[in-house]
Structure 1
Amino acid sequence: MSDIWINLLIPACLLASYPPMLLTARFWPKHQSPRLLKWVHLGGWGLVLLQIGAMGTWRLSLRGQWLDMLPFGLAWLAAGSYFALRRRQMGWAGKFYFGGWFAYPAALVGAYLLDRIFFVLVSIPIILFIPDQELYSGPQCAIRSGSGGFLAPPRLDLVTPFGPLLEKHRGFVQRNEANLAAIKTISAAQVLTTPASDTTAVMLIGPTGRRHILYFLSSH
């Protein structure tokens, strides 16, 4: 994809958050209290804080990257819709808080067009929830590209199921140490060591049957 299309696509995706907010405000049922949107926002934001705590403490997240984004997305949509619906009845504190959520996409577009470094800084809340590239996903595990931070080198993360709704981030390996060129494409993966080990070995199998073992260092 050319740079021109990317420069158009990113602002368009950000501005695409406005139609759902405006339509929700426009067609909100008159018999339904708008405060429901406020509580949906607060509930979604509370779930986000629980997600951050669970990830930092137990390395657990909701199963599937899109499901992991859902609480933040609902909190954002509900806050923007609540502002569009109730802005004339709000005090200055409510307008500042909920109006900030409503104006955030436009602010991101402005930052993107003015300065890319500033855009990266102000878009951190979104970047944290953007799905990572998934190199492999199977019943035993998933392998995703990731990073330990903005200045950290690219790495691969190992994620395994943890019950029906959660997944555990088991470990990582630096991407330049993974030597994925040995198999090029991952057709299957098998976890070899026990969860109690500080290092988890995963056997990767390519489409031709070639095997390659990666050792993921524990995330704890």
Structure 2
Amino acid sequence: MTRPVTRQLRATADAYDAVATRYAALFRDSLAGSPVDRATIAAFADSVRDAGAAGAAGAGPVADLGCGPGHLTAHLRDLGLDAFGVDLSPAMIDLAREAYPDLRFDVGDMTALPLPDGSLSGILAWYSFIHATPDDVPSYVAECARLLAPGGHLLLGFFAPETGHPVTPFDHKVTTAYRWPVDDLAAMATTVGLEEVARTLRQPAEGERFGQGRLLLRRR
């Protein structure tokens, strides 16, 4: 399942190509100072493994969609998952392949991936759709649902607005991004066959401007 890359997606890819080396250096150790984020990703990995052991989602691979320079793909591998990475930015994929030559990384559009339905046991989408317009985000969530096997898990990481506020754009350092209410994303997920397992809202750490939302979902 492929489609032409839109102008908006190409602009986002170009913006990340331009800062890829600096981005990789800045975020390579991003989990080191965030035990809450490490615990959230570990819970996702445990959920994927437990579902596989129970036969609910088989033992398929796990995709890190919007993988950037690959540090979280490698982290998923270290947690025992059969992980591979996909990113729209060719420069990011080049850096990921250089840093982790033992892992698979592909350039691709996460709204239309050339993978069979139900072929993944898990998907990590860690700040992967923050630059997508609100009208486009449902296609990201729907594609994740298509790719997951029944019982497979999806973990979303995103910027969250203040309680009660709607989807809110902001001036991200790379290109315009959006903050999403967790209730809106959870409701969107239910329309494509996903169910909520857990959610967290982490308050801004030092150097961060906004709250950080996490939503763990399971394919019904």
TM-score by length of 1: 0.31
More helix by share: 1
Structure with more contact order per residue of length (Cα contacts < 8 Å, sep ≥ 6): 2
Structure of larger gyration radius: 1
Q: TM-score, normalised by structure 2?
A: 0.31
